[in-house]
Amino acid sequence: MRYQLIKIIFLSIIILILGTCKKNDVLTPDFTSLNYKLDDNISASIKVCVYLDSGVFESCQTNTVDMLNEMQCNYSVINKDSILNGALSHYNLLIMPGGDMWQYQSYLATSGMANITEYVRQGGGYIGICGGSYFAATQIVWRGWANHPRDSVSIYGLNIVPAIADGPIEDFAPSYIDSKCHIRLIQPEHPCTIGLSDPIAPYYDHGPKFLFNDSINISVLGRTVTGDKKIILSYQYGLGKVFLTGAHPEADNSRTSWFMVKNAIKWCSK
């Protein structure tokens, strides 16, 4: 009887421990509903470079690097000097993280921007996240930070996507931040969005909507549920492929948006 009692107590403790572990597992993102597999690694033959220099916000740098590391994506860091010295030719893909597109423009200057544009035209891939997506457009329209007067200041971008990047999006006023920005996937079978749950909910922070003539062959991949704004695009510029997102998939706490970035890395590198 005593042995049976001890056995029952022991089994109860084990069940309690397992139950506690199960509760903790809820904190870990559940990818089982996705067709895309975590172990579908990015080929080591894909040479990725990430711009980490003047203008990149610290949080964007940290989140982008953390995401790439967890993806087991091999990448190199590139800066203004390496861009000016022609180093882009050694890579299949340039990732331009979130940051200050005004500083990107002034710091890289005409020659640096021309090198990036030519790199993409000749077949290099480009992924632009928030500030990096503003930077890729023909025209950048900035309407001011939260708690600042509404304004409209315009500068030119890389012109690798013939669109206006206009932000922040007024539907997200007054903070212009949404920790779960729900985005409807418009082309779920596109190589960049295939296998993803719909909608996705990445972080939004002062990013742009994209404006362009519907006759232009730009693929709209995602629209905001709030306001129905074009926020995720893909485009072929010359021989190069471009993927832009006005939101921050790298800062998605659930990490489900990371699959989109992994898809985009593969697509833009082909």
> In this predicted structure, what is the pLDDT of residue 41?
75
Does residue 199 or residue 22 have the better pLDDT?
Answer: 199
Which pair of structure tokens corresponds to residue 215?
């006759």
> In this predicted structure, what is the pLDDT of residue 254?
81
Which pair of structure tokens corresponds to residue 174?
């007054």
Q: In one letter, which amino acid is 263?
A: N
Supply the pTM of this predicted model: 0.85
Query: 14 pLDDT exceeds 60?
Result: no
Domain 43-268 belongs to what topology?
Answer: Rossmann fold (3.40.50)
Contact status, residue 210 vs residue 157, Cβ threshold 8 Å: no
Which pair of structure tokens corresponds to residue 143?
């309407």
Residues 6+ apart with CB under 8 A from 222: 183, 184, 185, 186, 193, 200, 230, 231, 232, 245
Q: Which of 222, 106, 243, 98 is nearest to 161 (CA)?
A: 243
- Give the model's confidence band at 179: pLDDT under 50 very low, under 70 low, under 90 confident, else very high: very high
**117-167 pLDDT per residue, tens:** 999 999 999 999 999 999 999 999 999 999 998 888 999 999 999 999 999
Q: Taking the domains of the chain in order of start, what are their residue ranges?
A: 43-268
**197-219 pLDDT per residue, tens:** 999 999 999 999 999 998 899 99
- Give the model's confidence band at 230: pLDDT under 50 very low, under 70 low, under 90 confident, else very high: very high
DSSP structural state of residue 41: P
